[in-house]
Chains A and B, each alone.
Chain A
Amino acid sequence: MILITPSTRGMWTLFKKELLRFWRVAFQTVASPVVTSLLYLLIFSHVLEGHVQIYPGVAYTAFLIPGLMMMSLLQNSFANSSSSIIQSKVMGSIVFLLLTPLTFLEFFIAFLSASVIRGLAVGLSVYLVARWFVEIPLVHPIWIIAFALLGSALMGAFGIIAGIYAEKFDQMAAFQNFIIMPLTFLSGVFYSIHSLPPFWQKVSQINPFFYMIDGFRYGFFGVSDVSPWLSIMVVGATFLLLAWLTLKMLKSGYKLRG
């Protein structure tokens, strides 16, 4: 079984095309999610700053920023692969990829990498802009990078699955509204799960988004709800599971080759 052709140019081309696809409309794909995050930041910090302190010595506004960064990073990695695939399926232009000698692994790597770049670009932009408003420590940069990469890769893979599975745009919207949004808002972006009633704490603990955000936040403040090692294992395992599922779908040609 051939996994990668001797010349990786095909994969590289697809990666570049996927990058250009969002970069050409960066206003919509990067700037606009950054603005959304800032709105959250302004509103929540205005309402809650001074009333809530989650970790000792960490201002609420500072606490909020890693959560918002991760949230926009996750949503945008997902959006990149899922929207590209669903659009080319609906337009029919997906045949141009299906006619090529690209292997399923090359397809996977190209889409995943472009998703990671988009996620990182948005996450980083949120950080750069937020720094204007508040001092944010960077206690363990390695953890920050590890969670940012794994989180965006996980959502890039999930986006491929959703893009292949969905047949219409409204099915894709259902993925966003019924899976991504609830998981995001129940993950502790705006609060520590310790402030939740016990039942909802338990619910949060089966949400992989919680571990992505908690581990990511640990990288900034050196404090978190659970150990970053536990978080990285949960996130890593979820990524592997989704990557395996994505590759299985791609290899079988599920919904792509009749």
Chain B
Amino acid sequence: MQQKYHQPAVKINQLHKQFGGLHALNGVDLTIEQGEFFALLGPNGAGKSTLINTLAGLLKPSSGSVSVMGFDTVNQYQESRLNLGVVPQELVFDPFFNVREMLRFQAGYFGRGRENDAWVDEVIEGLGLTDKAHTNMRKLSGGMKRRALIAQALVHKPPVIVLDEPTAGVDVELRQMLWEFIKKLNRDGHTIILTTHYLEEAETLCSRVAMMKQGEIVALDTTTNLLKTFTGKNLRVNLGEVILPSSIAPLLRSVDKGVFTLSLSDVAQVEFVLAELRAASLKVQDLQLIEADLEDVFLSLVGSNQEGKSQFSLAGAH
């Protein structure tokens, strides 16, 4: 395969994408090195898929440039696509063929022939599709279709693999299995980029994350650094079924059966919270201080408006 060495896996320069009046990407700059396990986080509509699709050549940049392994996605689209495997967000499939046929065709489009069949079978095996290799795509369950979709992105052994919400709508068991599979690909040297709104996914898998909001990257760092620089903590207090005093209500992140989780920007806030609870004559039955997670970082960056909040706590609750 044609490949340039010492090139970043992905390099994005001042990328803008407009849909009519909508600025879906607003000057994105991003470099992802070879071998990274990278997550692109953001609420729905942040522009993650638009970024991925521009990378894949499915969308044309309004301005700016994108390259994959050093190949410009517009001027050197053939080389850039040979180096890239993309798992689309939507569960799309070709209803005419069975899994193995479809994977062989896909490999063929990338110029690969019989010599590649062993690899196709390896991918089928690795994704647990062996039993379904002769099943028509139409007849696969949702989870199996998702696996086939991932297999399809891998048939040409691309060094850079992009997965757009690979585990959306997938059950816990399959999610675990896909995580293991993707981790193995990364260990084997593939650069992995995934978009997700399951923050847990980014936190457990990825070494570096970019957080997007309204077409812009609002934070870009290693997972560890983001958590370290974020001084906030969560305070979990069990109060029973009560109403929080209005003075501390803005800190509320979630509530579950009388257990209130409050986001504190600083540990010192604990005293304030306790004082307010005492003043309101609320009895603390239990109390716990918890390290912040990516969700907290995200909320503090993206702004804890109610919309973003509910979306992310829902997503993180798995």
| Chain A residues close to B by CB (< 8 Å) | 2, 5, 7, 9-10, 12-14, 16-17, 20-21, 24, 88, 91-93, 95-103, 253, 257-258
Interface readout for B40-82 with A: 1 if CB under 8 Å, 0 if not?
Answer: 0000000000000100111110000000000000000111011
Interface readout for B101-112 with A: 1 if CB under 8 Å, 0 if not?
Answer: 000011011111
- Asked whether A257 and B60 contact (CB < 8 A) given A9-B108, A10-B110, A103-B78, the answer is yes
B111 pairs with A5, CB closer than 8 A: yes
A7 pairs with B111, CB closer than 8 A: yes
CB distance from B70 to the nearest CB of A (A): 16
CB distance from A171 to the nearest CB of B (A): 20
Bound CA–CA A100/B86 (angstroms):
10
**Chain A residue with the shortest CB-CB distance to B85:** A99
- Asked whether A96 and B106 contact (CB < 8 A) given A91-B93, A101-B77, the answer is yes
Given A95, A101, A103, A257, which contacts B82 in the complex, CB threshold below 8 Å? A101
Q: Is B96 an interface residue (CB 8 A)?
A: yes
A96 pairs with B152, CB closer than 8 A: yes
B109 pairs with A97, CB closer than 8 A: yes
Q: Is B173 an interface residue (CB 8 A)?
A: no
16 contacts between A and B (CB under 8 A): A2-B78, A5-B111, A9-B112, A10-B111, A13-B108, A16-B108, A91-B95, A95-B88, A96-B92, A96-B94, A98-B58, A99-B57, A99-B86, A257-B60, A258-B19, A258-B58
Name the B residues within 8 Å of A95 (CB-CB): 58, 88, 92
**Chain B residue with the shortest CB-CB distance to A9:** B111
B108 pairs with A10, CB closer than 8 A: yes
Q: A14-B108, A17-B105 are in contact. List 7 more A-B contacts (CB 8 A).
A: A10-B108, A12-B108, A91-B92, A92-B90, A96-B106, A257-B60, A258-B59
CB distance from A137 to the nearest CB of B (A): 40
Name the B residues within 8 Å of A258 (CB-CB): 19, 53, 58-60
Interface size on B, residues (CB 8 A): 31
**Chain A residue with the shortest CB-CB distance to B86:** A99
Name the A residues within 8 Å of B88 (CB-CB): 92, 95
A10 pairs with B109, CB closer than 8 A: yes
Name the B residues within 8 Å of A9 (CB-CB): 108, 111-113
Name the A residues within 8 Å of B90 (CB-CB): 92
Closest 6 CB pairs of A and B: A13-B108, A92-B92, A101-B78, A100-B109, A93-B94, A7-B111
Name the B residues within 8 Å of A13 (CB-CB): 105, 108-109
8 Å CB contacts to A: which residues of B107-164?
Answer: 108-113, 152
A24 pairs with B96, CB closer than 8 A: yes
**Chain A residue with the shortest CB-CB distance to B17:** A258
**Chain A residue with the shortest CB-CB distance to B102:** A96
- Asked whether A257 and B59 contact (CB < 8 A) given A5-B78, A17-B105, A101-B78, the answer is yes
Bound CA–CA A24/B94 (angstroms):
14
CB distance from A237 to the nearest CB of B (A): 32
Most buried by A among B58, B77, B113: B58
Name the B residues within 8 Å of A2 (CB-CB): 78
B92 pairs with A93, CB closer than 8 A: yes
CB distance from B225 to the nearest CB of A (A): 33
A98 pairs with B108, CB closer than 8 A: no
B93 pairs with A100, CB closer than 8 A: no
CB distance from A11 to the nearest CB of B (A): 9
Bound CA–CA A17/B103 (angstroms):
12
Bound CA–CA A12/B104 (angstroms):
13
A100 pairs with B81, CB closer than 8 A: yes
**Chain B residue with the shortest CB-CB distance to A87:** B95
Name the A residues within 8 Å of B82 (CB-CB): 101
**Chain A residue with the shortest CB-CB distance to B53:** A258
**Chain A residue with the shortest CB-CB distance to B95:** A91
A102 pairs with B60, CB closer than 8 A: no
Bound CA–CA A12/B110 (angstroms):
11
Name the B residues within 8 Å of A21 (CB-CB): 96
**Chain A residue with the shortest CB-CB distance to B137:** A93
CB distance from B159 to the nearest CB of A (A): 14
**Chain B residue with the shortest CB-CB distance to A95:** B88
Name the A residues within 8 Å of B81 (CB-CB): 99-101
**Chain A residue with the shortest CB-CB distance to B79:** A101
Name the B residues within 8 Å of A253 (CB-CB): 60
CB distance from B195 to the nearest CB of A (A): 16
Bound CA–CA A83/B109 (angstroms):
20
A91 pairs with B108, CB closer than 8 A: no
Name the B residues within 8 Å of A97 (CB-CB): 109
CB distance from A3 to the nearest CB of B (A): 11
**Chain A residue with the shortest CB-CB distance to B105:** A17
- Asked whether A101 and B111 contact (CB < 8 A) given A91-B92, A95-B88, the answer is yes
CB distance from A146 to the nearest CB of B (A): 32
Name the B residues within 8 Å of A99 (CB-CB): 56-58, 81, 84, 86
